[in-house]
Amino acid sequence: MEASQSSSNPSSSAATPAPNPNRNSNSILSSAPVWPTIDGPLGLTEEESLSYARRFYGFGYALLPWLWAVNCFYFWPVLRHSRSFPVIRPYVMKSAVGFSVFTSLLCSWALTFAIGGEQLFGPVWDKLVMYNLADRLGLTGWI
Amino acid sequence: MAAQQNHRAGGSIIDSLGEEIVRIVTPVSICMFLVVILVAVLNSGSSSSPPTINTIATIAYSETTSDSTWDKLKGALLNALVFVVVVTAVTFLLVLLFYFRCTHFLKLYMGFSSFIVLLFLGGEIALFLIRKFSVPIDCFTFLVLLFNFAAVGVFAVFLSKMAIIVTQGYLVAIGMLVAYWFTLLPEWTTWVLLVALALYDLAAVLLPVGPLRLLVELAISRDEDIPALVYEARPVINHDQGSREYEGQRRAWRRRRESGNDSESDHNIVTSDAEVTAPLIQNRVSSAADGQESSVASTDNSFLEGIGLGSSGAIKLGLGDFIFYSVLVGRAAMYDFMTVYACYLAIIAGLGVTLMLLALYQQALPALPVSIAFGVLFYFLTRLLLEEFVVQCSLNLVMF
C-alpha cells in the first residue's frame, strides 16, 4: 500500500509543495502504517492485535522471554512508528524491556557458568553441567 | 515510472507461479537440509550400532544385523503393515471426531502433540548435540531455553494468527524433529515403510472410501478448516490488485470463501498418527503424538488460465510430507552424500510434478507417491550403478 501511494509523488511536478509536517500522523501523505503487525495486510487488524499483544505480554511472565521477543517482532511497526498505535504500544514496549532484562540476566549467568567452569564453582560445576546430568539420569536412553 | 509500469505489465503468471513454487520448495529444502546435517553430525561416530528405538513401527520385528536378507525383508514388511494399519485406524478415528464436530478437542490434541514433540524430541536431540560437542551449558539455562522453545511453538501452532514466519519456522522444526526420529528406525523397515506409506497415501486420498478423501469432503461441505498441522505458504500478493482486497484476504487464505469473481476450492487433508509418548514406562513403547497430513491443497483463481494458481492462492502442504521426504533424504545421508544429492533432486522433481498435477486436476492430491517413488528409485540406482561409475572414474583419474 505504501509503495503504490508513494510512487505518485515523484511523478508530480516540481511546483507541488512538500507535505505539511503538522498534519495528522495518519494522513496518507505520511508513511504511517495501517497494519500493526509485521505481516501487514495478512496479519491482524488493530482491534484484534490489542488482545493478542496483551495476552503475549501476560504469558511472558511465566519465564517466557522468547514470547516477549516474538511479541516485539510481531508488532514491530508499533515499535518503529512511535505515534501510530497508542493503545498497543505500552504492551509491546514493556515486552521489549522485559525481554532485554531477562536475556541479560540469563546470558550473564550462562556465560559465568561456561567460562568460570570448575575454577569458580568447584565440584558443583560437574553436578550442574548438562551432559553429566543427562548421563546420570539416563535422559538420552529412552528415545 | 517506467519501471513501475514494466513491473505491473510483467507481473504475469510466470512470476507469480514461480514465486508460489519457490515458497513451497524452500521450506521443504530447509527441512531436508537440517535433517541431513543432524544425521551427518550425530551418526558419524557410531556407524556400527546406531541407537535403536522401540516404537509401533518396530513392534512386529526388530532387525538385527545377523539376520538373512529374506528374514529382514519379511520383518520389514510386517512392520510396515502394522504401521499402516495403525495410521489408517487413527485417521478413521479423526474423521469420526471431525464428523461429530469435536473441533476444539482436535485443536487441543494438536497443541498437546506439538508440545510433546518440541519438548521431548527437541530436548533429546539437543542433549545428543550437547554431549557430542561438550557444550558447557548448565541445567537451568537448558531447561529455560527448552521450555521457551516448546511453549512458543505451542502458541504458534495453536493460535491461528501468529506471525507467519514464526508459525512456518516451528512447523519446519517439528517436521525436522520427527523426521530425525524416524531415521533411527532400522534400514529395511524404513524403506519398506516409506513405500507402504506412499501407497497408503495414494489410496486414502484418491479412493472414494479413503479416510482422507472423506475428511476433505466433510470439510468442504461444512466450509471449515481441518484442525491439523499444515504448512501454508505465504500467498503471493499480485501488485495489479488494490490493497483493499487484502483486508479480508488473510481470513480468505485461512478459510474457504466464495467471493464474487474467484472460485476458491480449498482442500485440506489430515492424517493423524497416534503414537503416544510414554517415557516412564519400562518396556519403552514409545511414540509421538503427531498430527500429520499427506496431501497438497491449493486455491485457484479463475482469472488466470493455464496452471490455475491464483494470486490469492496459498499452497498447503501437509506436515507428513515434510517428514517423509526428510526421512528419505536422512536415510540416504546415512549411506553417502552422493545418494543425498540424487534423492534431493528426485524429491524436488516429484514435488514439481505433484504441483503441476494439482494445477491440472484442481483437487486434493497425495503429495507422497510421486516423490517417494522417484526418491527410492534414484537411491537404489545411485547406490548400485552411479557409485560404481564415479568411483571407477575417480580411481582412473578420468573425472571428478
What would the pLDDT profile of B216-269 be if each residue is shown by its tens digit? 888 888 887 777 888 888 877 665 544 444 434 443 333 333 333 333 322 223
* Helices marked H in B68-138: 69-99, 103-116, 122-133
Q: Which helix (H) or strand (E) holds B272?
A: strand B271-274
When mean pLDDT is compared over A42-51, B209-218, B304-313, the highest value belongs to B209-218
CA separation, residue A142 to residues A139, B166, B340 (Å): 7, 30, 29
The conformation of residue A39, written as its DSSP 8-state character, comes to T
For B75-108, the pLDDT digits (tens) are 889 989 999 999 999 999 999 999 998 888 888 9
Helix, strand, coil tally for chain A in percent (to 5): 60, 0, 40
Distance from CA of A121 to the nearest CA of B (A): 12
Domain that holds residue A51: 33-114
- Residue B68, class by beta-carbon neighbours within 10 Å (0-12 exposed, 13-18 middle, 19+ buried)? exposed
CB neighbours of B111 closer than 8 A, spacing ≥ 6?
B154, B157, B158
Question: Measuring CA to CA, which residue among B268, B267, B265 is closest to residue B300?
Answer: B265
Q: Which helix (H) or strand (E) holds B152?
A: helix B139-158
Answer whether residue A26 shows pLDDT above 60: no
CB neighbours of B248 closer than 8 A, spacing ≥ 6?
B257
CB atoms within 10 A of CB B125: 18
Cell 510512487 maps to which residue? Answer: A7
Put simply, the answer to whether A131 touches B152 (Cβ < 8 Å) is no
For B271-319, the pLDDT digits (tens) are 333 332 222 222 222 333 333 333 333 333 333 333 333 333 578 888 9
Question: Measuring CA to CA, which residue among B200, B206, B197, B255 is closest to residue B226?
Answer: B255
The amino acid sitting at B154 is: V
Tell me, yes or no, whether A121 lies in a domain: no
Number of domains, chain A: 1
Facing residue for B163 by CB, picked from A70, A110, A113: A70
Tell me, yes or no, whether A4 lies in a domain: no
**Per-residue pLDDT at A104:** 96
Report CA dihedral (B214, B218, B219, B224) to the nearest 10 degrees. -160
Sign of CA dihedral B389, B395, B399, B400: positive
CB neighbours of B12 closer than 8 A, spacing ≥ 6?
none
Banded model confidence at residue B371, pLDDT cuts 50, 70, 90:
very high
**Per-residue pLDDT at B46:** 56
The conformation of residue A32, written as its DSSP 8-state character, comes to -
Tell me, yes or no, whether A119 lies in a domain: no
Higher-pLDDT residue of B260 and A132 is: A132
Long-range contacts, A134-138 (Cβ 8 Å, 24+): A134/B127, A134/B130, A134/B131, A135/B131
Tell me, yes or no, whether A138 lies in a domain: no
Q: Which residues of B are catalytic?
A: 201, 321
**Per-residue pLDDT at B52:** 59
B8, B125, B127: which to substitute to probe chain A, counting the most A Cβ within 10 Å?
B127
**Per-residue pLDDT at A134:** 83
Answer whether residue A69 shows pLDDT above 90: yes
Distance from CA of B141 to the nearest CA of A (A): 7
CA B118, CA B116: separation in Å to the nearest integer? 6
Least confident of B175-179, B253-257, B396-400: B253-257
Tell me, yes or no, whether A142 lies in a domain: no
- The predicted model gives B132-138 an average pLDDT of 89
Q: Is A3 left (phi over 0), alpha (psi -120 to 50) or beta?
A: alpha
Report CA dihedral (B53, B54, B57, B58) to the nearest 10 degrees. 100
Facing residue for A130 by CB, picked from B51, B139, B286: B139
CA B194, CA A20: separation in Å to the nearest integer? 65
Tell me, yes or no, whether A56 lies in a domain: yes
CA A79, CA A92: separation in Å to the nearest integer? 7
**Per-residue pLDDT at A39:** 79
Q: State the count of interchain CB pairs (< 8 A) between A and B.
A: 117
Answer whether residue B148 shows pLDDT above 90: yes
Find the closest chain B residue to A72 by CA distance. Answer: B163
Tell me, yes or no, whether A16 lies in a domain: no
Tell me, yes or no, whether A130 lies in a domain: no
